[in-house]
Amino acid sequence: MVVKLPTFPECNHPVVRLIAHRSDHALLHLFQNCPAKGQYFTAIFCRYSHLVYALIRNSAQSPVQVDYLFAKTWQRIYDELQHLKLEKQVSSSEQRALQSWILNMSAVSINGAKLPPVETINYALSAAPPPLWCYLEKALEHLPATCRLILTLAQTFHWSESRIAAYLAAEGEIISPEQVQVQLQEGCQLLEALLPKDIQEIYLSTAAAKE
């Protein structure tokens, strides 16, 4: 199976290009110390996305699984990067330290992967590139529990308002399909507001422009 390398338009976004010249060490430092901004992780992703994808693309049986594993790998990288300590070196090895670490993390992800069947994967790389997905997952953690459940059932599993209302009623929470729709709209607005402003600019403004 030959899977072509995808393109990532965010890599040419002005917000990302503005910091594309920064060293790995600088981007890592800014990412760890400026959690309200997403551009630094996005810049790291853009720098190494094709390298990681090239490593992953022959490790799954279908392009859908490749994209899913690619995204899950970057989720893992995102989580681990928050606590990663790289020694700053004067030599050129400094430029390779983060690259080596990312490749090692990718190998660990590949070797430990238990990929679900294609038909059960509800993920599209074009709809939620890894940086956006990482920050969406982080924002979801701050939503009220019921709101988060409704969003997940509607957006990930594509349940109807009636089915969600019936499920919640079975769990002891009485809510009409109309109220589910209202909470879904409010949840989407709240979720967007919880994203870093630069992530909104990089991804959501671009999506709005395409529409």
Domains, the chain, in order of start with CATH, read: 9-123 (1.10.1740.10), 142-210 (no CATH)
- What is the C-alpha separation between 182 and 59, in angstroms, rounded? 42
pLDDT of amino acid 209 = 42
158: left (phi over 0), alpha (psi -120 to 50) or beta: left
- CB 159 within 8 Å of CB 153: yes
What pLDDT score does 92 carry? Answer: 52
Q: Is the dihedral of CA 120, 122, 125, 130 positive or negative?
A: negative
Sign of CA dihedral 194, 198, 202, 204: positive
What is the pLDDT, as a whole number, of residue 140? 94
Q: Residue 207 to residues 126, 198, 201, 204, 210: CA-CA distances in angstroms?
A: 11, 14, 10, 5, 5
What is the predicted pLDDT for the residue at 93?
54
pTM beyond cutoff 0.75: yes
Give me the pLDDT at residue 1, please.
57
pLDDT at residue 2, as a whole number: 58
State the pLDDT at residue 7.
93
Determine contact, residues 105/80, Cβ cutoff 8 Å. yes
Torsion of CA 122, 128, 131, 134, to 10 degrees: -40
Low-confidence residues of the chain: pLDDT under 50: 90, 208-211
Q: Which amino acid is at 198?
A: D
